A and B are shown apart, each in its own frame.
Chain A
Amino acid sequence: MKKSYTRPRRGIDRRTVLKGAAAAAAVTTGITGFPAYLKAANTPIKIGVPTILSGRVAILGESSVAAIKNEIRKINEAGGIEGRTLEAVVRDSRGKPDEAARMTRDLVNNEGCDIILDAEASGASFAVNEVVRDMKQFCIHTNSETSSLTADPKNQVDWVFRSCRQGIHDAVGGGLVAAKVVKEKGLKKWATISPDYAYGRANTEEFMEYVKLFAPETEVITETWPKLFQPDYTENVTALLNAQPEVVYSCLWGGDLVAFFDQASLYGLFDQFTAFAVNLGDYPVLTAIKSRPAGVYSGSRYHKDIPDTAENEAWYESFMANSNVLPTNWSWQNAAAVNFVVEALKKTGGDTDSMKLAEATSGLTIDSPFGVDGTLTIREDDHTLVNYMVGYSKTIVDEPYVVDFDQTAWSEIYKHEAEWKKRNGYM
């Protein structure tokens, strides 16, 4: 039973089959992904949220998502926008810029998101900025405080906005309060300890620039730059102790700030120096620090008593009732972003066209529990948020953790911001 058998042309067959299989897989996935893209009048308005949900920053990302979901819940319970509900589609980019860029594309192209709320930290927010510029996609940056994101004309995009703090605003506020404190106490020698990356360096430079402006005899005697997510701060604490400054500034944040405070307390650092920490006043940070030092000056983040209004208290209660994480600075910024989106959608009659939304958002003022006089505005000329709470409080060991809020007037901030923009060639 011998059968004559010629060997098949293996090479061609194998490769053809593989290419065919790869293509078929791509086509199939493309087609199955397709229905998500179809829009109909009664489908929800989808809001895509690239953010960080893993690593040490996860707590901030989670508090952002909780705030977005809570605001969306309120809107949907009140009947939605023109009969359409809102829906958040959240993706974890792990804070990687290229991942955030890819996910943002995916959220728009595959998930059919109409709006992007970019809840990334600085690094990835610049990547998202370029993607939404490229795609002509309406977007609000909700977390990146890096000033140049909206201040530098080369980063400005007609259909992109920012609904969060800006480094330079906090620097002016911090500089004013710090100058007042050091003049009262007669302190001159400063040291800084901030994370070694773009935000840390830029923020520290801006803060010290304004301290020097308002208290000219100021002198920075040492700077120490721990790495981001560094586990052990002994060398930095030692550097501070050796330099013996009178005042310390830090823009460490999140888990890094908690770790630093716990380790520095062992050396009694905060008994020896006056300290300013712009990112200290957030609930998860304050509650996580084991030995909370009293008398540290903390920048305004989110607090239920700042501003001390019934609306803010009500927002806090609603957030706490609907979330399993504590509210943070990122929470109010994302809640504000949803509020802006909703107001803009009301103005466009529910139309999610990016250009129409952009036109509606530019220069928009909304009622908000987070504003100085109950309102927040997205400024028309640079698309960034103004009129939010800027200032410094002092920590105490027990609730409400921070007291004596020293609020910076926006007229002061505007004046110095304009000069800063001129100095940097931004206007």
Chain B
Amino acid sequence: MTLLIEFRRDLLIALAGLVLLVAIGLGIDHAWPRDFLTSIFAAGLLAMSLNMLIGYTGLVSFGHAAFFAMGGYIFGLLLQSPAFTGALGAGSVPVALGVAVVGTGLYAVVIGAICVRLTEIYFAFLTLAFQMFLYSVILSWVDLTGGDQGLMGGIPRPIFLGIDLADQYHRYVFCAVLFVACVMIMRIMTESPFGYTLRMIRDNATRAAFLGVNVFRVKLICFVVSSSIAAVGGVILALFTSGAYPEWAFWAQSGEAIFMIMLGGLNVFLGPILGAVALRILNDVVQMYTSHTEIVIGVVIMFVVLGLRRGILDFVKDWWVEKQQARLAAENRNGQE
């Protein structure tokens, strides 16, 4: 209850955001905004959950997409199993979603317990190693995962509570609700004392430890939660593409998420979302004119890195803060006169 009161402003904004998203999706008689936003929901959750590690905790993970892929694969595999859908019937989709999130979370506990003991480049490379391990498993376990062809034959989606995920409107609203809920969870986490503990660990882990913070446990909780949220992103993409593919577990997918964070900004909560939107629009627009997408995207990122020296929203935030401070300073001077 106190949580509701404390975060009432954020909750209201989230609700307004959800209403806006639903209005866009249902109000425009065209599938494109729905498709575009659904892919943003998936990529956005991947990037934002990764930013909980990178931006808030200072843990640069190169293997975050593993959890994204795992969510998609668990969800798809469960629903593809006739035994599972037969036993649970209408409850299949929510249960599969739950198992995908919790299952990925458990996997993240194991991986996290090993990885978060390390920092910097060692942490980065160990997460990368575990991601490539999962990638290899997906590729070689052809009987279960379909190997490099991914999950074939579509993902059945039994109707639950009147929600038919085969219908594009239902699917869009379902994904939008998942997305906003996850964003809200991340908001609460990062703005709560726990979130400030994360920032403290990022800035000085030793000091945090001396203040009585169990650094390992806090890092691990953050790692597990962010992995579970990435899994929700994977579920959304699995629903959207009606399959799951090993490319989702490839390092390039993690790299793309890091790109999004760099592009959008890592010190502003919604920065990674802006990065995801910018990267997607850039990709789609460039695709229409040339097949040399990578070169153009590379040039844009170079411009952001060299020109702004930070993400777009970081730049905007810094500019805003500087302006405020200049104004305050001017007022102070005026006041002294």
- Chain A interface (Cβ within 8 Å of chain B)? 1-3, 5, 7, 10-12, 14-16, 18-19, 22-23, 25-27, 29-31, 33-34, 37, 53-54, 91-92, 94, 96-98, 101-103, 105-106, 108-110, 122-123, 126-127, 129-131, 133-134, 146, 148, 152, 154-155, 197-198, 201
The verdict on A34 contacting B30 (CB below 8 Å), with A11-B9, A97-B243, A148-B152 known, is: yes
| A residues less than 8 Å from B237 (CB atoms) | 98
B287 touching A91, Cβ below 8 Å:
yes
B28 touching A27, Cβ below 8 Å:
yes
A130 touching B142, Cβ below 8 Å:
no
Answer whether residue B193 sits at the interface, using C-beta atoms and an 8 A cutoff. Answer: no
The verdict on A134 contacting B154 (CB below 8 Å), with A106-B32, A110-B32, A198-B142 known, is: yes
Answer whether residue B331 sits at the interface, using C-beta atoms and an 8 A cutoff. Answer: yes
Closest chain A CB from B257 CB (angstroms)? 14
A19 touching B20, Cβ below 8 Å:
yes
The 0/1 profile, CB within 8 Å of A marked 1, for residues 237-274 of chain B is 10011110101100000000000000000000110011
B152 touching A126, Cβ below 8 Å:
yes
| B residues less than 8 Å from A30 (CB atoms) | 24, 28, 30, 32-33, 36
| B residues less than 8 Å from A109 (CB atoms) | 30-32, 35
User: A241 vs B270: C-alpha distance in the bound complex, in angstroms?
Assistant: 58
**23 pairs of residues in contact across A and B, judged by CB atoms under 8 Å:** A12-B9, A23-B20, A27-B33, A30-B24, A30-B32, A31-B28, A94-B293, A96-B245, A97-B241, A98-B248, A102-B39, A102-B241, A106-B284, A109-B30, A126-B149, A126-B243, A127-B243, A127-B245, A133-B242, A146-B149, A154-B152, A197-B139, A198-B149
A2 touching B334, Cβ below 8 Å:
yes
B31 touching A134, Cβ below 8 Å:
no
User: A3 vs B317: C-alpha distance in the bound complex, in angstroms?
Assistant: 25
| A residues less than 8 Å from B152 (CB atoms) | 126, 129-130, 148, 152, 154-155
Q: How many A-B residue pairs have CB under 8 A?
A: 143
A123 touching B32, Cβ below 8 Å:
no
Q: When the two chains form the complex, which single residue of A5, A19, A92, A98 contacts B291, counting CB atoms closer than 8 Å?
A: A92
User: A38 vs B303: C-alpha distance in the bound complex, in angstroms?
Assistant: 37
Answer whether residue B158 sits at the interface, using C-beta atoms and an 8 A cutoff. Answer: no
B245 touching A98, Cβ below 8 Å:
yes
B270 touching A12, Cβ below 8 Å:
no
Closest 3 CB pairs of A and B: A154-B153, A109-B31, A130-B242
The verdict on A101 contacting B243 (CB below 8 Å), with A23-B24, A30-B33, A130-B154 known, is: yes
The 0/1 profile, CB within 8 Å of A marked 1, for residues 19-47 of chain B is 01100100010111101110100000000
A7 closest partner in B (C-beta): B324
A18 touching B150, Cβ below 8 Å:
no
| B residues less than 8 Å from A197 (CB atoms) | 139, 147-148
For the residues of B in contact with A, the DSSP-based class is: helix
| B residues less than 8 Å from A127 (CB atoms) | 150, 241, 243, 245
Answer whether residue B281 sits at the interface, using C-beta atoms and an 8 A cutoff. Answer: yes
User: A39 vs B217: C-alpha distance in the bound complex, in angstroms?
Assistant: 59
| B residues less than 8 Å from A16 (CB atoms) | 13
User: A2 vs B336: C-alpha distance in the bound complex, in angstroms?
Assistant: 10
A11 closest partner in B (C-beta): B9
B247 touching A96, Cβ below 8 Å:
yes
B33 touching A98, Cβ below 8 Å:
no
| A residues less than 8 Å from B139 (CB atoms) | 197
| B residues less than 8 Å from A37 (CB atoms) | 30, 32
User: A109 vs B147: C-alpha distance in the bound complex, in angstroms?
Assistant: 30
The verdict on A123 contacting B153 (CB below 8 Å), with A2-B335, A15-B13, A105-B31 known, is: no
The verdict on A22 contacting B273 (CB below 8 Å), with A98-B237, A126-B149, A134-B166 known, is: yes
User: A162 vs B335: C-alpha distance in the bound complex, in angstroms?
Assistant: 79
Closest chain A CB from B159 CB (angstroms)? 16
User: A105 vs B327: C-alpha distance in the bound complex, in angstroms?
Assistant: 49
Answer whether residue B17 sits at the interface, using C-beta atoms and an 8 A cutoff. Answer: yes
Q: When the two chains form the complex, which single residue of B21, B35, B240, B274 contacts A106, counting CB atoms closer than 8 Å?
A: B35
A33 touching B32, Cβ below 8 Å:
yes
| A residues less than 8 Å from B291 (CB atoms) | 53-54, 92
The B32-74 residues at the A interface (CB cut-off 8 A) are 32-33, 35-37, 39
User: A91 vs B153: C-alpha distance in the bound complex, in angstroms?
Assistant: 24
| A residues less than 8 Å from B30 (CB atoms) | 30, 33-34, 37, 109
Q: When the two chains form the complex, which single residue of B37, B243, B284, B335 contacts A130, counting CB atoms closer than 8 Å?
A: B243
A97 touching B247, Cβ below 8 Å:
yes
